[in-house]
Each structure stands twice: as structure tokens, then as C-alpha cells.
Amino acid sequence: MKQISFIPDQNEAMSEGSLSVESLLLADQSNSPAEEKMGADSSDTDLEIEDTERSFATMKGAELYLEACKLVGVVPVSYFIRNIEEPYMNLNHHGLGPKGAKAIAIALVSNTTITHLELEDNWILAEGVTCLVQMLRENCYVQELNISNNHIGTEGAEAISRMFLDNISSLRAVQLSGNNFREETAQYFTEALLGNYRVKELDLSHNEFSEKGGEHLGQMLANNEALEFLNLSWNHLRMKGAVALGAGLRVNGTLKILDLSWNGFGNEGALALGEALKLNNILVQLDISSNHINNEGAGKLARGLEVNGNLKILKMSHNPLTVEGAIALVTSIRKNSKSKMEEINISNVLVNGSFLKLLDVVCQVHPELDVIYGGVRGFISKKPEQRPDPMKLIQNYLDERKLRLWDFFKNMDKDGSMKIPVAEFRKAMMQQSRIPLDRAQIGELVHKLDRHRTGMVDYRSLVDTQKQMVRDQRWQLRREESRQKKEKHKSEQVLKTFKSAVKMVTSRSSLVMCSAQNPLALPKSDPAHFSTTSLSSWCQPATTGESTSSQNSAEPAFSEQKGPSNHQLSQSEPHSASWSMSTSDLEVKFYSQPNLSISEAQTHSQYSIATSDLETYSKAQSSDNATSYRMMPWETRSSAHESHYLARNCHAASSPQKHGHSAKSSK
């Protein structure tokens, strides 16, 4: 086997514990099972070690990464090869593992372009973190590193802490969320960050720090002079941890953003933070959402807000607050003339009219203040008041004075950068009196001009916004016209369908009630020509000679039939004549049965027809009348079949008391 040798000058130049490409490769070669097998067989491999050593001095970028992947034994990541010369490298969720992270570390030792490295959720473990730490000791260009959710554990935390303690790397932002850090790791970070002056942002959220870990981190806050952003959300700090952090925050002079949400420290933690805010004038944003803080805790926190003159954003959503706690918070801003508060987030709290009046009064003194609440109690079911579009009001104002749109906002831009902070923009809009805009309209305007929540209103795009507004208005007009046309067409179709349905129902569901001499020849609108017998008698079969002769004269085609068939046809005749009955027939039914409603009259008519036709159908199906049934015309057969099913439906809809005698026949 060929021996691995290093260049003496390079080894002397390297400090103890530092990383070089050759040292990483040597470590991999010595621990590789394949190399042990090769040593036993005393054979060479496809990858010539001596040639690799000579070429690594000149290899860079993608070529170096490919060689490292061959040596480590992993598949190269094509995205890394394509973007190795870009400043931002996102390798989140790539499944690199410890060996994949080692290959990345080898390639980045000499890289000078990547400044932001994302390696979240790659299961690199402590082994991969150790390789990255060694790389960061040599690379002075990477400034932001995200290795969240990689199961680093205590061993990985210890390696990172040693790097922080030595102040060697150029890292200024590190994300270590979700890495199963326990109590003992908090002590490592505390000792490392006591003297660290490089790291400005640190994310330790979604770990397992409890009260003791909070005490260590509170000590770190009291002594650290570099951190500006600290995220400790989704831990288990509880009361003692929050009190320790509050004590550290009280004397801290650099921290600007602190996230303590989802730690469950309750009113005691709110009291400690309120006391810290009385002295701390550096903190700008505080997030204590979801911490079981009720109205009492809000009142204790408000005591600090009455004195603090630098806090701008306070997030307290998802706490068990009511309108009383909300009033306490807003009242504290009213009492503090030096307050710089811009946003209070209590998005789950329902407020009332008293709170809104108080907020309007406070906004007159602090026009930059924006309170995000859940809704107004008692007004949820009412239709919200329609307000005019603020952009349209501004446009109308400028049109009247023949001004350009961007001239209106130019007066608010003091430094001429064409960008205005949201707080200053809100304050200027509240204080101006040229255009009548209330607090809700100004909030809508801010949302339109700062859609991505960057905190800055860029009025360079106002021309495009104006054009988009005109296009939106035209689109709304076209949409309204199209909607009206569709509604009109739909109404016409419904009316047409309704008329057809009325015509069909009146022609098929009515019963002709006329005299026995010539029922079809009489006018249908005169009640005098109709029988005034009870409704139940209309469905009885006609058995008299007169009715038989009239039916035979009306239907000469059946006059040749004898015996039972003539009697059968006389029963089906009323149904044949019922198709020509008009709407006025219902008036006749009321004439004979004035106590029946329209729906009852229609039910009686349908039931009578169905019962009569059902008897005809049943007799026709018997063996004695089979011949007569076959001699029926097709229209009469269809009517009998159809009435069979109609009788069943009518029987189900009618009461047994009224139609008990017909229910037996339908069965």
C-alpha cells in the first residue's frame, strides 16, 4: 500500500487542532474499512492516493467536492455543484448524513464565495458537526450557519461551544433549533458566550432547556456583550427560568430581540420581565406569546411599560387575556409619554367599544401605535362597515390639486431614500389632516404598500400601484357587468323552467269534474257545470248506463269490447280526460270542498286518479281480463302503469284515516 505523506511546510503552517483537506482525507482513510481490506490484500485502488495529494493543492470548487465524495463514499449533491460560486447555499432536507457533511466541509475549506450555509434537517449528528467546526476554523467567509434539526446532541453542542469560546470563526448568526439540547448543554453555551464577541444572533428554540437551563442562560445574558437576537421559544423554562432571564435582561446592554414564547412561565415570569423593562432601554422586541399570562400578569407587565422608553413590538397572543388585560396594556402606553411602542399583538382577545375609544385616544398621542386584536365583542354577527379605498381617496385629493401621486409621500421622506419606515408612515398619516383617513384605513394602506411585511414603505412602486388600482377598478366593473348578465340569464332560465313546470303540473295533476252528459265539451271556468259531490266520490268508477254510453261515444274505439272490458275502460276514462284540466279546476274543487287548501286539493286529485287507475291496472293483470288488457291502446296501458307508481307515492304522503279504503287497494 502506498504511504500518505504531507508537505512539511503546510504542516508547520497549520496551527494545532486546525483543519486541512489532507487531514480530513487522512482521517477518513485511516477509519475506512475499505482501506483496511486494501492493506490486508496489499493492492492499489482506482483512486491513487499520491496523485490525489499532489492534485489537492490546486483543486478547488466542484472538482475538489467530487474528489471528496469519491473518497468519503457518498453521492455528490448536484445543487451544491451548480451553486458553489453563489453566496447563499441552501442544502436543507437533502439527507446528507455525517459523511455528506464531511464532503461539504472538505469542499468549503478553501471556498471564498459562500457566506450563508443552510444545512437544516440532514441528520448530520455530532460527527458531521465536528467536521463543520473544523472547516469554520479555516474558512473566514461563512457568516451565517443553520444546522437546526440535525440531532447534534450534547457532543455536538460541546464542539460548537469550543468554537465560540475560541472566537476563531467569523460566524455572526447560528441556528441550533431542535437538536435535543438538555440541561448540561446550557452550561456549555453559557461558558462559551460569556466572552464571545462575534456571534450576534443565536437560535436555541425547540430544545429541552428547563428551569436550570434558564438559570444558566440568564447568567449568560447578564455578562454577554455581543448578542442582539436570542430565540429561546418552545423550551421548558417555566417560572424560575423566566425569572433568571429577567434578571439577566435587566442589566444586559446589547440584546434587541428576545423570543420567550411557548415556555409556560405564567404571571411570575411576566412580573420579572416587567421589572426588567423598567431599567432596560435596549430591547426593541419581546415575544411572550403562549405563556399562560392572564389579566393579572398583563397588569404586572404593564408597570414596566409605563416606564420603558425603547420597546417597540410586544407580542402576547394566545394568552388567556380578556379585554381587561388589553385595556391595562394600552393604558400603560397612554401613561408613558416617552413610549415608542409601535405594535401590540393580542390577536386572540375580543375587545369592546370602551377599548376602541381608549385606543383612539391613545393613537392621537402615539399615532404610530398599532394594536392587533381578535375582534369586537357584540359586533361579530353584524355586517362590517364599508369604508372607501384609501388609495382612491388619496388619488382623488391629488387629482383635485393636479399633483402627482408620489409627491404626496415625498414630503414624508426625510433622507430622500424613497423608503419610509412603517411606524413613521403611520404616524405621518395619522397627523395629516388633508385627507380624512381613520386608523383602520391607514392600516389597510400600510398593508397594500408593505405586502411582504418588511417594515418599510417603498413609494417607488406607487406608480405601478396606481396603475394596478386602475386595472383593478376596470376589472371590478367588468366583473360586475358579467355577474349582472349571468344573473339576468339565470333568472330568465328559471322563469322559463317555472312556466313549463306550471303548465305540465296543471295538465297532469288535475281532475276533470264535469256533468255526466258531455264532460269534455263544457267550459272549464264555470263552476256551475261541475259536480258538487264530495271529493271521495270523484274517484268511484262510473257504473250507470249514461256514463257508459257517454264514455263509449267519446271513445268509439272501445265500443266493440264486451263484458268486463267495457266496465274496465269506464274506470280509466276519467284519467284519460284529466290531461286537459286547467288551473281554474282547483277553484271548482274549492267550490265543492271550501275547507280544503290548495296542497290538499292537489293531493286528493292525484290520489283519486291513481286509485282509479290502479284498480284498472290490477284487474287488467288478472287472468280473466288479460285479453281485454292486451286490446287496450298503448296510451291507456302507459297511463295505468304510471298510475300504479303514483298511487304508491300518494298513499305514503296521505294519512290512513282519510284514505284507508284506498290504501288497501294500492297494496
pLDDT at position 39: 42
Helix axes 439-449 and 462-508, enclosed angle (nearest 10): 110
pLDDT of residue 553: 40
- What pLDDT sits at residue 498? 73
pLDDT, residue 431, reads: 78
* Integer CA distances (angstroms), 126 to 98, 391, 472, in order: 8, 55, 55
* Residue 608 pLDDT: 54
Burial (CB < 10 A; 0-12, 13-18, 19+), residue 642, is middle
CA distance 95 to 123: 7
DSSP string, 486-545: HHHHHHHHHHHHHHHHHHHHHHHS------SS-TTTS-SS-GGGS--S-GGGGGSPP-SH
**Global model pTM greater than 0.75:** no
Which ranges constitute the DSSP H helices of 306-455?
323-335, 353-365, 390-401, 405-410, 422-431, 439-449
Check residue 271 and give its pLDDT. Answer: 94
pLDDT lower than 70: segments of the chain: 1-57, 378-386, 405-406, 460-467, 469, 505-667
Residue 418 DSSP code: S
Q: Return the pLDDT at 436.
A: 80
